[in-house]
Structure 1
Amino acid sequence: MTFASSTPVKFNSVEFRDGQQSLLATRVTTEDMIPLLKRMDEVGYDSMEMWGGATFDVCIRYLQDDPWNRVRVFKRFMRHTPLKMVLRGQNLVGYRAYPDDIVEKFVECAAKVGIDIFLIFDALQDLRNCETAFRAVKKAGKKIEGSIQYNISPFHTAEKFVENAKEQQRMGAELIHVEDMAGLMTPPAAYELISALKSALDIPVHLHCHCTGGMAEMCYWEAIRAGVDGLDVCVSSLGLGPGHPPIESFVAGLKGTPRDTGIDVGQFTSLNTAFQYMRKRYAEYESRLIGVDVGCLQHQIPGGMLTNLENQLRTMNALDRLPEVLSEVTRVRADMGYPPLATPSSQMCGAQATTNVLTGQRYKMVSKEMRDYCRGMYGMPPGQISPELMKKALEGEAPITCRPADLLEPGWEKAKSEIGDLAHSDEDVLTYALFPAIAVDYLKKKYGQEA
């Protein structure tokens, strides 16, 4: 067996963010994470992704769990492992573009509470939407991890991915993260892309795959052979299905090779018992899509979104319509110009597909978010939006061509004024600025006031 590198493979832990988002609908509370933190800190991870994505929204919408305090708690226990968050470029941890001053303030506060690495991506790979976040992270003196949203379309090739990654390196990225959020990647594609990125870049490359399509572990092995520097993993009892490959498999499989990780596989016995308990505790939220779903090669829905889409259809007593919705997702994505199905384009596509199926008419109802997408408020899609969707969404209005955030008025002082004395800190103001519809009730409960 030959390897393009002889350095130990590094691991990024994703249990507390994408792991629980993919398998347990992001419902795990900070309190239930605490007993695991000291042991996780001793494993030997290169970093731990534990914030961002859907965690912020779920904390304030469903859990009454202070998202900012979650980072502080982790920082108290994680003495050796850098903390990472997933930042959706100009969308931060929300589902729309926020003004530049909100982006800057958010990064400043996130850095202060303890985020060391900012994994920044844009759902459409429109890097104009990452510029402000990159600058803010540089100013805060923290690490920028750029991201490639892997997907399959007529507009996405290895050459295009490399070109995008090189631009992110030029912008200041210190590491490139390849995210196969829907489990689409094949082993040959993994070898080809990682080899191309390693040849073209001067910074490390990490790979993130979901097990949805059943090929993630094979892709990881081929990426290791191609010289990948790091992999995103979960412990085995919180892995697989729409989640991620287990770390133990790679620790054991690489032992004695030039890429030996040096990590003791024995330490995962007690950790797995603890994560098994967590999984049972949150069983009501667990994805029923356990195993392999080769349908992901068509619908390309990310693991975390599959779980949430399933839960939403269940609450509408329409779970039996899931196959129809997944099929419609394929058609809607093509109509949208083949965006990678990362947040928020995945939510827009999934919601529109659900509406189309449940109403029985395509685009009879078009959401405000989809209208804004067609206007260009989320950036430039890889391909052309279909004339049918453009007509229904814009009703003759012309789309924009500038950077979307250039059209937004500053938001910080406005948010401070609107939330007033209910905010006790800059963090509270940001929570309101990001989620005004739910933040007021959340903050009232947080401070013991009537909601």
Structure 2
Amino acid sequence: MSGVVDIVDTTTRDGNQSLWSATGLTTADLVAIAPTIDRVGFHAADFTSSTHMAVAVRFHREDPWERLRRVSEAMPQTPLSFITTGMRFITWVPADEEVIRLAFRCVARNGIRRFQVADPSNDPVRLRRIAALAHEEGVEQVVIGLTYSVSEVHTHAYYAERAAALADCPDMDALYLKDPGGLLTPDAVRELAPHFLRAAGTRPAELHSHCTIGLAPLVYVEGLRAGFRVLHTAVAPLARGTSNPAAETTLRDLEAEGFSHRLDLDALAEVSDYFRALGEEKGLPFGTPQEFDATYYHHQLAGGMVSTTRRMLEELRRPELFEAALEEVGRVRAEMGYPIIVTPVSQLVATQAVRNAIDAERWTNVSDETIRYFLGHYGEPAAPVDPGVAERVLARPRARELEGLEPLQLEGARGRFGARISDEELLLRLTMPEEQVNAIGTASPKAAASPGTARHPVVTLLREVARRPAVTHLRVQKGDDVVVWRRAT
């Protein structure tokens, strides 16, 4: 076998989300390493989502739009990617098309060049509509994803049918097989590959999986053999565990199979060293290789949701119900029509399973979001829902109130939040608590100064030189890279 394999870097979005709860990285952390990431030669960087943008505001008091601008300016050669369902922006409340259009427009003009679109129900009609909308609002490249799952209805014929339905989509620039649960097996990817490659045609076919039960590296090798030529990986410190395969290991594997790549290994090593040092200083965990666990197929919760479920039970002082709750996940999923266990539905299923495990009678307590699911606000289920459960959920008085829930709209928003604020600020105020938006930029200097920035060797050198008035000029060269500093006069 031969051919060039391209790599999409998932470190800053999926790796950060899978291992560091999406909260581990600040804007300063990202800007400090962005030029080095740009030198690696990645096909693209899976960089952010509206959830990550909200985290920047809520946890770091940072402007997420500034983050997009600064990082995109610092790595102009590597397209930054934004992942979306196209159904909402930041808040769980569904948004109407005008809100989504404005969000897409703002994301694109602040530096995002690539969108990864994934629908919770793998609905080809909705995927095509969101892809068209993204292009209309200025996005350069749209990658449509079909999210992998295992159930009575999520058969290989199901995926073949949906891939075929996307084949003639004029707004699809690439197609990817998205496996957030790490459920793919080598046999499965071998059987699915021809359908995805046929649907992609001359466009790239990408493969994305997680190491949650240890199969993803094998899946990537088999995917290469079957024809995929773009793989999604994270650098080693933010890979493995519940994250994606490690870039370093994947490159060795693909070379062993006779393939080549375009990456600068020295720059890749620098990126990996940076995130390892950053994690050590912040006390953040690194991914470790996982053993195969066949029981995982019964609940299919991603690693982050497994730990969230355990934490929920510990907070409720019922940790002994953990195994029962995992078993309940499979039962709840079947009753809800086998939704794919991916955000946002994974949270609904896990929360309901915990409630069912604790309560004397199942489905006694139901969240508003789960009621909305049964009302059809999250799309058509893959299979019919359990009629008895649906009747019980929809008989609740709250269901009548939520039935008429209006999607988030722009109408009247300018009047509420101010005619002179930017579109970007308007979107934040429309979707987030006022006190959180008002707090942007109020972090203490100590909190705002990222340890990753201070530790970067060139940044450290320049700061030290700036403190010495006798030094007026500095030139540093390593290979073809040159940094020139002059004191302002």
Please report the TM-score for the alignment, with normalisation by the length of structure 1: 0.88
Q: Note if 1:441 corresponds to 2:439.
A: no
Deviates more, 1:85-94 or 1:343-352: 85-94
Q: Is the 8 A contact 1:22 1:307 kept in 2?
A: no
Q: 1:47 to 1:283 in 2, by over 3 A?
A: same
Q: Distance in 1 between matches of 2:245 and 2:217?
A: 6
What amino acid sits opposite 2:418 in the alignment? Answer: G
Aligned to 1:386: 386
Q: Is the 8 A contact 2:98 2:409 kept in 1?
A: yes
Question: Secondary structure of the residue that 1:11 maps to in structure 2?
Answer: strand
Aligned to 2:35: 38
Q: Is the 8 A contact 1:242 1:290 kept in 2?
A: no
Aligned to 1:305: 305
Q: Distance in 1 between matches of 2:64 and 2:119?
A: 22
Q: Distance in 1 between matches of 2:436 and 2:429?
A: 9
Q: Distance in 1 between matches of 2:431 and 2:206?
A: 29
Aligned to 1:21: 17
Q: Is the 8 A contact 1:332 1:352 kept in 2?
A: yes
Question: Secondary structure of the residue that 1:195 maps to in structure 2?
Answer: helix
Question: Secondary structure of the residue that 2:439 maps to in structure 1?
Answer: helix
Q: Is the 8 A contact 1:103 1:132 kept in 2?
A: no
Q: 1:425 to 1:330 in 2, by over 3 A?
A: same
Q: Is the 8 A contact 2:206 2:229 kept in 1?
A: yes
Q: 1:160 to 1:386 in 2, by over 3 A?
A: same
Aligned to 1:376: 376
Aligned identity (percent) is 26
Q: Note if 1:12 corresponds to 2:8.
A: yes
Aligned to 2:76: 79
Q: Is the 8 A contact 1:190 1:223 kept in 2?
A: yes
Q: 1:114 to 1:252 in 2, by over 3 A?
A: same
Q: Note if 1:65 corresponds to 2:62.
A: yes
Cα displacement string for residues 176-213 of structure 1 (whole angstroms, at most 9, x for unaligned residues): 11111111111110111112211343122111111001
Q: Distance in 1 between matches of 2:442 and 2:5?
A: 48
What amino acid sits opposite 2:102 in the alignment? Answer: K
Q: Is the 8 A contact 1:96 1:344 kept in 2?
A: no
Shift of 1:367: 0.7
Q: Distance in 1 between matches of 2:286 and 2:309?
A: 10
Deviates more, 1:304-313 or 1:77-86: 304-313
Q: Note if 1:138 corresponds to 2:135.
A: yes
Aligned to 1:185: 184
Q: Distance in 1 between matches of 2:44 and 2:378?
A: 30
Aligned to 2:117: 120
Coordinate RMSD, CA, aligned = 2.8
Question: Secondary structure of the residue that 1:179 maps to in structure 2?
Answer: strand
What amino acid sits opposite 2:260 in the alignment? Answer: D
Shift of 1:362: 1.4
Question: Secondary structure of the residue that 1:148 maps to in structure 2?
Answer: strand
Aligned to 1:199: 198
Aligned to 2:174: 175
Q: Is the 8 A contact 1:104 1:132 kept in 2?
A: no
Q: Distance in 2 between matches of 1:150 and 1:350?
A: 18
Aligned to 2:470: none
Shift of 1:297: 1.6
Question: Secondary structure of the residue that 1:81 maps to in structure 2?
Answer: coil
Q: Distance in 2 between matches of 1:448 and 1:110?
A: 23
Shift of 1:406: 12
Q: Distance in 1 between matches of 2:71 and 2:209?
A: 25
Q: Is the 8 A contact 1:36 1:271 kept in 2?
A: yes
Shift of 1:64: 1.6
Task: Report 1:277-316 matches (<5 A).
Answer: 277-283=277-283, 286=285, 291-292=290-291, 294=293, 295-316=295-316
Q: Distance in 1 between matches of 2:358 and 2:231?
A: 39
Q: 1:376 to 1:443 in 2, by over 3 A?
A: same
List alignment gaps of at least 5 residues for structure 2.
444-489
Aligned to 2:159: 161
Q: Distance in 2 between matches of 1:191 and 1:134?
A: 27
Cα displacement string for residues 322-375 of structure 1 (whole angstroms, at most 9, x for unaligned residues): 333222111111111001111111111111112222334311111111111101
Aligned to 2:222: 222
Shift of 1:316: 4.5
Q: Distance in 2 between matches of 1:88 and 1:58?
A: 18
Larger Rg computed on CA atoms: 2
Question: Secondary structure of the residue that 2:168 maps to in structure 1?
Answer: helix
What amino acid sits opposite 2:40 in the alignment? Answer: V
Q: 1:261 to 1:426 in 2, by over 3 A?
A: same
Question: Secondary structure of the residue that 1:412 maps to in structure 2?
Answer: coil
Cα displacement string for residues 59-117 of structure 1 (whole angstroms, at most 9, x for unaligned residues): 22322222222211211211210010101221244434211110111111111001111
Q: Is the 8 A contact 2:145 2:176 kept in 1?
A: yes
Deviates more, 1:58-67 or 1:98-107: 58-67
